[in-house]
Chain A
Amino acid sequence: MKKKKKTLIITSLTSCNGCLFSILDLGQTFFKVLEDFELADFHLIEDKKANNEIDIDITFIEGTVTRKEEKIKLKNLRQQTKTLIALGACAHLGNIQKIKNYGNKDKILKYVYPSSGEKIDNWKIQPLSAYVPVDFVIPGCPPNNQEILEVLRQVAIGSKPHLPDRPVCYECQIKNYPCLLLEDKPCLGPMIRGGCEAICLKSNLPCTGCRGRVNEPNEEKMQELLGNKEYERVLEIFGNK
């Protein structure tokens, strides 16, 4: 007997939508993988109305809750979905839009909208897990689409999604990229979760932490290496502070 296909939603809240485009970057492979699913909603490639009534097996959601409607959307999706996957740094950490949390939010809002800042619904940024239970996180800004593919394949056959939890340094050393910490550059590699193939280090760009912390990071050592101020500055970029 043919097994029933799993139902899948891929969607977004406030973000750059880059996670969704990194899925499209899988090209033909993505269309092939989709054959194993019943696609219930992916607003970038389909023009159909989202159906809040049906049961969903897996939802990938990127972006942050920035206003009331988005919280409602997220809560509804949670209710519908068996496995809710936070996709990318916005959903996981808050990403760049969380920088406003570290300053004076009202002043920042007023800077952008001088005449009507107070009329704009603009929430403090939190990870999706602050609003609803999240079953799994695919980290990164953007996420590594090979990891997305891996997770899609895992959930298609009903296994629990899993990705390795190793620091960026692990992959950086395997690839033999020069260590930027040794050059006194503010690289968060030792405490940030890899899986990105150390792609920034490949370009001599220090890790700024888009994938969030590993389990049990040695923060004290990191702080000591970078200096308190610099450490805080880099942590703020993707909402790690």
Chain B
Amino acid sequence: MSVREKITISINAINKIEGHAGFVGKLENGLIREARLEVKEGARLIEGILIGRKYTEAPWITARICGICPTVHNLTAIKAIEKALRVKASPQTTTLRKLMLFGQFIQSHMTHIYFLALSDFFNLKSDLTLVKINPKITREAIQIRDFGNLILNTIGGRNIHPTTTAIGGFRKLPSGRMLNKILNTAKKNLETANDLFDFLNNLTFPEFQRLTVFAALANKQEYALYNGQIKLPKNKTYSPQIFLKKANEEQEMAGDLIKKVKIARESYLVGALSRINLNYRKLNPFARKALARAEFTLPCYNIFYNLLAQMIEVIHATEETIKILSEFKIKAEKIQKYKTKAGRGLGVTEAPRGLLFHYYEIDARGFIKNCNIITPTAQFLANLENDLEKFLENSRKENDIKMLIRAYDPCITCAVH
């Protein structure tokens, strides 16, 4: 009788991701039994602590779910509460919020592309080496990242944990002069972003793919980030409410800190690669051209190309910023008046890593009765693990496994929250 051969691959700490996680893979007689990310941090119980607190605190507190995408948590909470209180944001407010999202995408994507993921493509262990061997790319990547931060600081008051945003408008509006500075910087950055895309496009991307389902926001007018319906492949669309009825959050094992989300028990992908696959037709001209030059074709199921998808979005967001600000004149506008009342509201946006949902139920005195936050990483985690399972058939090298995980750009602090 043959002896069963059991192998465990264990990575204690996956560096260069947001938050702390490890990896465990189990094989038996060459067959993969398990491939799991292990959370190595604690739960902050964000939904739990919000119960019984004033709804006005929710955007301020939930921004702190994440240090890399606080603005999008802040805005999604605001959108959900505005829905609950039936407050309609003015067109100017909506435009400024969209610009903030572009800033958030640019800042977050550049952080991931340069600081977290790029070293892998050169087989380097440290960004400090990357800085030394490629000062030009370092300069360009940081310049574009700074541009994202400029938008966030100018409109949001601060790039980490915004201060100007409010339910019904802005506490403080940016000056026309500063918006002009954003416009001019955007124009300067467009070429740099294009160059950086070509540089990334010349990297060697591992060959790997596994069919999956994409999900992203979509609307008729634009490459949807701020609002829309949820789109799945074959042009199926759902309202966010209906989508959430299909997408189930659950702890796989008792004690799990991340509630993974699946649709009909199947994993799905959210984030840049998913958005590009579903909504590429809405991209701006330079982003479209970059896509045409890209080393992948659509539909693309190779997550390593997530980097290129993110860079295409950086180009798109820069173009969109130019488009909006070329015709935009800021006008004085007060925060809308509204009354505290009972209600419930679901807000959804695209965060850099994918669909983000905030839901609040408020009582007549303005206290939060129920809430739920569903983050992108909680949605794509099952997909990531399924990819890992298949990936282990090709390679069991620690570096390769980490590279795949990092290509997803997981945010563990968001996923646990």
Contact = CB atoms under 8 A, between A and B. Distances in A.
B171 A204 contact: yes
Residues of A in contact with B, size category: 35 or more
Interface residues of B, number: 61
B172 A203 contact: yes
Contact of B13 (A22, A43, A115, A233): A43
A120 interface: yes
A137 interface: no
B42 A115 contact: no
Interface string A109-150: 101110110011111000000000000000001100000000
Contacts of B131: 31
B140 to A, nearest CB: 12
B64 A95 contact: yes
A47 B61 CA distance: 31
Given A16-B66, A28-B139, A46-B16, A116 B254 contact: yes
B127 to A, nearest CB: 4
Contacts of B57: 237
A48 B125 contact: yes
B145 A27 contact: yes
A81 interface: no
A47 B43 contact: no
B240 interface: no
Contacts of B127: 45-46
A47 B159 contact: no
B91 interface: no
Interface stretch (B98-106, B160-168, B178-186, B199-207): B160-168
B148 to A, nearest CB: 10
A69 to B, nearest CB: 7
Contacts of A39: 126, 128
Contacts of A27: 142, 145-146
B115 A119 contact: no
Contacts of B128: 31, 34, 39, 45-46
A17 interface: yes
Given A115-B251, A120-B255, 7 more contacts: A47-B16, A97-B49, A99-B53, A103-B52, A122-B42, A205-B171, A233-B54
Interface of A: 12-22, 24-25, 27-28, 31, 34, 39, 43-50, 63-67, 69-70, 95-97, 99-100, 103, 107-109, 111-113, 115-116, 119-123, 141-142, 199-200, 202-205, 208, 233, 237
Interface of B: 12-13, 15-16, 18-20, 40-49, 51-54, 57, 60-61, 64-68, 70, 111, 115-116, 119, 125-128, 131, 138-139, 142, 145-146, 149, 157-161, 163-164, 171-172, 251, 254-257, 402, 413
